[in-house]
Structure 1
Amino acid sequence: MDTNLRFSMLNRDLPGAKERTAKDPEIAREIKYYEENFSKVETVDDLLNDYRLYNFMMKTMGLEDMAYAKGMVRKVLVEGTDDSGALANTLKDKRFKELAEAFPFNKDGTIKGKFDWESEGLDPRMVLWSNTPGEEVDDVDRLAEYFTLKMPRDVIFTTQILADPALYEVITVAFDVPEEIINGPKSERIDWFDENIDIEALKKPSELKDTIAKYRDNLEIREADRTKGIVEQYIQVSFEEGEGEQNEGVRLALNFQRTGGNITSAYEILGSPALYQVVRTVLGMSESMVGTDIDNQAAVINEKFDIKKFQDPEEVDKFVKKFVILYDAQNGIGTAPSVQLFASNPGVGIPENVLTAVNALKFGG
């Protein structure tokens, strides 16, 4: 079945196609393993040393081809994306930044969400009292205990909450404080807390209990949403790979359909082999350009197409449709596809009806 036809058939019921993928026994087993075991990960090395979890992560992020580079992956994960100089932010391949954001770790290699009980700003008494000697107390339980002990006892001002990592953690989660506030200037955080949180009311036993309940509930919701998102992406990538086993063009088209709207620069295209192949095919870029100066290639892409158009879903749709038509044309003729597709006369060897279909897909602008 040709690329254009198969791609069109799948798009008539993409949810159904992905549901069938999720029911595949092998894929279902890997999903179950991830759901049951990722919560046990405490450090980046726990993840890297678990073959199944590591490969699940890499496949989910479309990085199977880089699974061998564990040292580089480790550096990406522990450095994160907060620092502009972090490795993930300096690489042209956007997949690594997406990896660091999807699987966040602290700089010491511990997974984010594991609370650092040696942080500055914590009350040593409450750190001691919230712990049970000889037992490993769950972070959530310990934070709840710390909050319950500390709030009514010592807190008077908003600045005290902002200065105490444990209090701040509980309240930002319980009250769903927006990310832009959490990561914003101190003055904006103070203003938000003063407007939305009544410290005196929060000290009452009923309010303390209610805040802890909201904290626990919101943590569970966030973790469930995160896991669901990772699993859905794993299914999507598995679905695309499965189609690629029959027709690589379909896989490329599905991948571009999913990710094309996120493209913001030509360098992101050049950093992704899958995106690059689609764009190079549609724009008629010569194979001789592959491996040449990256700035020159970026300039050619920008000259041929306005990247901003990818922000419009209709433009992405037109681009993908043009790709599947050209992909079928270049792979359905006898001589080398690259010669026929990228010849000085692009019409050589491509049927007139194909050229007509391609030319009918006009991009906006």
Structure 2
Amino acid sequence: MSFAPVVPFNGYTGWAFLARTRAAQEAAFAGSAEMNRDESYFRERIGSVETAEELVADRRLLSVALGAFGLSGDIGNKYFIRKVFEDGTLRPDALANKLADKRYLELSRAFGFGDYAVPRTQLSDFADRILAEYKTNRFEEAVGAQSNELRLALTAERELAELAMRDLSGDAKWLTALGSAPLREVLQTAFGLPDSFAQIDLDRQVAVLKGRADRYLGGGDLAQFQDPGKVEDLVRLYLLRSQIQGFGAGYSPQSVALSVLKSAHHTGGLLSRLV
């Protein structure tokens, strides 16, 4: 049986517990029998895979490949995934470049079936890099089986820190964040934006995000998330607002805030801005 992460609480209380126990829980999860079997199989077989067709035909290899990019739900969409791989990323009309969710772009780029004469599966360190991402994303999925909000928080924490350090313009970073389904959901919820926000012009979306980030976090530049404290502020804001939304109708903002305060400490001035 695979190790299941322990998440006894939801919301920010659960996040605080996970933060305290995360290193030990991740190590136990990565060392589970199921993960060891997946790792051994991938290491033994991936070097012999030279085409997208071969990869998609092997469900166990494909499961690791998709899991490494948080796309495990696509395991049954073989034709679609093969097309993502074979089109590559270099042509503007490649399928991965047309999709709003840029995890597919990263998936296709990582394997290189459509970009290079010799795919990246032949590189000596390829298995190491994919398996490292696989372990991280599978742990997040396992947490998500108990709390989707905590899974999104983990993903946002990781992706924001990585994105903040990329050599991109300020607007390009925000656009990249919008292209990540988990990051978009965290940002929209944390900043109190409605579902209809996704329907407005992209330039306007970026402007709104900058304004909300400045209001809630003290700065509109996504590069601020190089500071782990800023990432924590956003995650806390997301989890508190998610918890407030979970109370539903019939509760006043003041009563909801009081309930949240009883279950989460050290919220600073963020909560006062939600009510």
TM class by shorter chain equals 0.7 to 0.9
Instruction: Give unpaired runs (5+ residues) of structure 2.
Output: 1-8, 164-171, 214-219
What amino acid does structure 2 have at the position aligned with 1:16? Answer: A
Which letter does structure 2 place at the counterpart of 1:230?
I
Distance 1:36 1:113 in 2: 12
**Could you say what secondary structure the match of 2:113 adopts?**
coil
Distance in structure 1 (CA, Å) of the matches to 2:77 and 2:254 = 43
Map of 1:210-229 to 2, 5 A cutoff? Answer: 223=124, 225-229=125-129
Flag the 1:17–1:113 CA change in 2: closer, same or farther, 3 A. Answer: closer
Q: Deviations over 1:149-185 (max 9, x none)?
A: xxxxxxxxxxxxxxxxxxxxxxxxxxxxxxxxxxxxx
- Render the CA deviation track for 1:237-287: whole Å, top value 9, x for unaligned: 111111111111111111111111244534333333321221111100124
Residue 102 of structure 2 corresponds to 94
Q: Which residue of 2 aligns with 1:292?
A: 199
Give SS of 1:21's match: helix
State the secondary structure of the residue aligned to 1:359: coil
Greater shift in the superposed pair: 28-37 or 277-286: 28-37
Q: Does 1:71 align with 2:82?
A: no
Contact 2:46 2:121 in 1 (8 A): no
Match of 1:310 in 2: 225
Distance in 2 between residues matched to 1:41 and 1:87, nearest whole Å: 22
TM-score (norm 2): 0.74
Task: State the SS of the aligned residue for 1:45.
Answer: helix
The structure 2 residue matched to 1:25, chosen from 33, 37, 42, is 33
What code does the residue aligned with 1:255 have? T
Query: 1:194 is matched with which residue?
Result: none
1:151-300 → structure 2 map (5 Å cutoff): 223=124, 225-263=125-163, 264-287=172-195, 289=196, 292-293=199-200, 295=202, 296-300=204-208
After the TM superposition, which of the residue ranges 263-272 and 349-358 deviates more from structure 2? 349-358
1:347-362 equivalences in 2 (<5 Å): 347=253, 349-352=255-258, 354=260, 357=267, 359-360=269-270
Query: Which residue of the partner structure matches residue 178 of structure 1?
Result: none
Q: CA offsets per residue over residues 310-337 of structure 1, 9 Å max, x none?
A: 3443322221122222223332x2x25x
Deviation at 1:348, TM superposition (A): 5.3
- Identical pairs, percent: 28
CA–CA distance in 1 between the matches of 2:32 and 2:255? 41
Superposed displacement of residue 82, structure 1: 3.8
Deviation at 1:65, TM superposition (A): 3.2
Kept in 2: contact 1:325–1:358 (CA 8 A): no
RMSD of equivalent CA atoms: 3.2
CA contact (8 A) 1:43 1:109 kept: no
Q: Which amino acid aligns with 2:154?
A: L
Work out the CA distance in 2 between the residues paired with 1:276 and 1:108. 31
Write out aligned runs for 1:100-139 (5 A).
Answer: 100-106=108-114, 111-112=119-120
Once residues 42 and 158 of structure 2 are traced to their aligned partners in structure 1, the CA distance between those partners, rounded to angstroms, is 23
The aligned length equals 245
Specify the SS of the correspondent of 1:105.
coil
Q: CA deviation at 1:21?
A: 0.8
- Bigger Rg, which one: 1
8 Å contact 2:190–2:238 — kept in the other structure? yes
Q: What is the deviation of 1:4?
A: 1.6
